């Protein structure tokens, strides 16, 4: 609470001004109707006043005028006007303490410990989000400045924060040096800096000291209620922590076997390490992206109990609940997935949870709800780039091609080419389709067995469909998105029944490419009786009746529905 110079609360001044505004007209009325005389207060005489009385009345008028001036000046200072209040950009106003945590630079002799610097920064970021009265920029935003030369003031302005925490690590054998500094992003001066030379076993104590120092320097307090203790990485086993960080270093879609081994080893070292359990479950579930569709149920059945264990160990982990929700909708348990997402959002409404939830809504055909969720996701903080191809599915389902193209322009490599191809298919633009296929990589993918022959006979519907069906029948030619790719081309050439047949072969096993079900180009497919059977079989209708219908489907009474 802000106090006045006399140590009175700030509301006191406001109350005084209001009382003055209310009482001033009354005071004027009494001054006009009555006058103070040696014999007491008397009514003002209309005539016959003495010279002295006339002078008294002039004094009354002077006093009234002075009071009017003081009141007007006071009120004018309290009542804002359109002229006095400048139009400020919302991004220029930082109303609370705020901070961004940048990745800690690796200063180790071999330069091979960046994963450790990233891990320390992320743990500090997670801990600082628990400080009462401190807004913390998210990991995606802060880490986007990794290995860049932007100055601190530029970064702070872009992230809309008024302080920056940065540092470095130097790890040599069992010794570690951590240097951290908290910078005032308004003027560039240091609030605080410190260097810690310790045994590696003290890394969690160092993190706790840094978090406490930041809290003290910014004038905020650690935690609320029962969350005052520093939880660090969720383990006190330094070896388990380091192996966990090494597992995270690999891309989710990189060497999955290496990641799985790392998380399993971390769990062996600390069986109660909830974050390692959650990461293991996610990585196992991710293998379905590169497996044949029919293997997805077995993969997900293996991942579910691991994620349930993570939530059991840390029920208040939004991260674990989010991953459990994601794997549940991958298993087509949409209702339970929604429940876990809502639990995760009640624990922590962050970009990661909102993004995952929006992707589920998109796959379930609730594209408008997905778009609204992405808006909440963006409102938390501004992040360079967009959410990529998954988000483009929302724009395609809503026939917002310009927005989808904007996303494509922010991508690179095959992601950009692939998205441009999908946009061209939905716009039914043969020139753009041919250009996109021509830009596909010319080697290293079995999908060329489909696209190159189709490109040669692209303008002949009969020949193109013949090629498409021949590739479909060739069981020796396979790639992860085979059914999806064939189904879209079949729909483009007008064979809705064949498109649905092929799409169903994948959709009955995995939700990986469910976003395509809601493309404008599949409108005729959605109107087939077989499509209604498909969405019933994959439990979507049960989910829609509970949580809201897909944009392209609506109920017909209690027992029927239609899609278009």
For 344-355, the three-class secondary structure string (H helix, E strand, C coil) is: HHHHCCCHHHHH
Note whether 373 and 344 are within 8 A (CB).
no
Q: Which of 141, 142, 143 is nearest to 114 (CA)?
A: 143
Q: Which of 261, 267, 315, 266 is nearest to 283 (CA)?
A: 261
Q: Which of 365, 314, 367 is nearest to 344 (CA)?
A: 314
CA dist list (Å): 298 to 281, 306, 505: 13, 14, 16
Choose between 51 and 134: higher pLDDT: 134
The region, left, alpha or beta by phi > 0 then psi within -120 to 50, assigned to residue 424 is alpha
Burial of 462 (0-12, 13-18, 19+ CB in 10 A): exposed
Mean pLDDT within 228-237: 66
CA dist list (Å): 105 to 108, 112, 156, 178, 512: 9, 11, 18, 10, 36
Could you tell me the pLDDT band of residue 105, with boundaries at 50, 70 and 90? Answer: very high
Residue 481 CA from chain centroid, whole number = 28
Mean pLDDT within 536-555: 97
Q: Does residue 1 surpass a pLDDT of 70?
A: no
Phi, psi of 531 (to 5 degrees): -70, -40
Choose between 459 and 70: higher pLDDT: 459
Could you tell me the pLDDT band of residue 89, with boundaries at 50, 70 and 90? Answer: very low
Q: What is the pTM assigned to this prediction? A: 0.74
CA distance 64 to 58: 10
- In the three-class reduction of DSSP (H, G, I as helix; E, B as strand; rest coil), residue 118 is classed as helix
**pLDDT given for residue 37 in this prediction:** 44
Mean pLDDT within 404-428: 92
Mean pLDDT within 381-403: 79
Q: Give the contacts of 47 (CB within 8 A, at least 6 positions apart).
A: none
**pLDDT given for residue 221 in this prediction:** 60
Q: How many CA atoms lie within 13 A of 264 on its CB side?
A: 9
**pLDDT given for residue 321 in this prediction:** 93
Q: Does residue 237 surpass a pLDDT of 50?
A: yes
**pLDDT given for residue 383 in this prediction:** 59
Could you tell me the pLDDT band of residue 81, with boundaries at 50, 70 and 90? Answer: very low
Could you tell me the pLDDT band of residue 381, with boundaries at 50, 70 and 90? Answer: low
Mean pLDDT within 436-443: 89
Alpha-carbon dihedral angle through residues 118, 310, 378, 395, given to the nearest 10 degrees = 120
Pairing outcome for strands 134-136 and 97-101: parallel
Choose between 156 and 67: higher pLDDT: 156
**pLDDT given for residue 254 in this prediction:** 57
Could you tell me the pLDDT band of residue 277, with boundaries at 50, 70 and 90? Answer: very high
Biggest CA pair distance of the chain: 121
Partners of 170 in the β-ladder = 177
Q: Does residue 322 surpass a pLDDT of 80?
A: yes
Poorest-pLDDT segment among 34-43, 141-150, 262-271: 34-43
Mean pLDDT within 388-407: 90
Percent of residues, the chain, with pLDDT higher than 70: 78
CA distance 63 to 113: 78
**pLDDT given for residue 437 in this prediction:** 95
Query: CA 500, 503, 506, 509 torsion: positive or negative?
Result: negative
Q: Which of 242, 273, 100, 247 is nearest to 171 (CA)?
A: 242
| Average pLDDT along the chain | 81
Q: Which of 375, 369, 400 is nearest to 387 (CA)?
A: 375
Q: What is the pLDDT of residues 192-225, one digit of tens each?
A: 899 999 998 888 888 888 888 888 888 776 543 3
């Amino acid at each position: 609470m802000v106090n006045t110079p006399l140590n009175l609360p700030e509301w006191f001044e406001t109350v005084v001004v209001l009382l003055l505004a209310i009482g001033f007209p009354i005071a004027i009325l009494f001054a006009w109707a009555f006058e103070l005389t040696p014999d007491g207060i008397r009514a003002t005489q209309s005539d016959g006043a003495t010279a002295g009385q006339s002078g008294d009345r002039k004094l009354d008028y002077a006093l009234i005028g002075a009071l009017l001036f003081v009141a007007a000046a006071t009120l004018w200072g309290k009542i804002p006007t359109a002229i006095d209040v400048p139009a400020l950009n919302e991004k220029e106003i930082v109303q609370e303490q705020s901070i961004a945590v940048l990745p800690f630079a690796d200063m180790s002799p071999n330069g091979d410990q960046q994963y450790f610097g990233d891990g320390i920064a992320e743990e500090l970021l997670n801990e600082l989000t628990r400080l009462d009265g401190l807004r913390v920029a998210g990991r995606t935003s802060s880490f986007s400045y990794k290995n860049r030369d932007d100055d601190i003031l530029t970064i702070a302005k872009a992230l809309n924060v008024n302080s920056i925490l940065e540092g470095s690590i130097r790890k040599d054998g069992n010794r570690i040096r951590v240097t951290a500094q908290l910078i005032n992003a308004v003027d560039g001066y240091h609030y605080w800096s410190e260097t810690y030379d310790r045994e590696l076993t003290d890394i969690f104590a160092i993190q706790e000291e840094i978090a406490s120092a930041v809290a003290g320097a910014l004038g905020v307090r650690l935690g609320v209620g029962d969350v005052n203790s520093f939880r660090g990485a969720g383990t006190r086993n330094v070896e388990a922590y380091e192996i966990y960080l090494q597992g995270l270093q690999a891309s989710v879609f990189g060497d999955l076997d290496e990641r799985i081994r790392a998380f399993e080893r971390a769990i062996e070292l600390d069986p109660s390490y909830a974050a390692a359990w959650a990461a293991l479950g996610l990585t196992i579930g991710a293998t379905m992206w590169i497996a044949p569709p029919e293997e997805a149920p077995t993969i997900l059945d293996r991942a579910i109990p691991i994620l349930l264990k993570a939530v059991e160990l840390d029920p208040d982990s939004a991260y674990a609940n989010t991953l459990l929700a994601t794997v549940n909708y991958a298993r087509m348990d949409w209702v339970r997935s929604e429940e876990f997402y809502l639990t995760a959002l009640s624990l922590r409404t962050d970009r990661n949870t909102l993004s995952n939830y929006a992707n589920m809504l998109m796959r379930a055909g609730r594209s408008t709800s997905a778009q609204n969720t992405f808006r909440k996701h963006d409102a938390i903080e501004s992040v360079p780039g967009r959410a990529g191809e998954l988000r483009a599915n929302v724009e395609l389902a809503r026939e917002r091609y310009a927005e989808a193209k904007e996303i494509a322009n922010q991508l690179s490599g095959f992601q950009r080419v692939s998205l441009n191809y999908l946009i061209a298919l939905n716009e039914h633009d043969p020139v753009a389709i041919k250009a996109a296929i021509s830009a596909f990589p010319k080697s290293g993918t079995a999908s060329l067995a489909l696209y190159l022959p189709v490109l040669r006979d692209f303008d002949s519907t009969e020949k193109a469909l013949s090629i498409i069906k021949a590739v479909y029948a060739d069981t020796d030619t396979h790639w992860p998105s085979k059914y999806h790719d064939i189904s879209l081309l079949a729909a483009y050439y007008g064979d809705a029944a064949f498109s649905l047949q092929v799409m169903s072969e994948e959709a009955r096993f995995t939700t990986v490419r469910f976003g395509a079900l809601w493309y404008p180009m599949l409108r005729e497919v959605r109107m087939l009786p077989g499509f209604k059977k498909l969405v019933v079989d994959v439990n979507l209708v049960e989910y829609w009746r509970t949580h809201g219908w897909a944009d392209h489907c609506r109920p017909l009474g209690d027992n029927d529905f239609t899609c278009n």
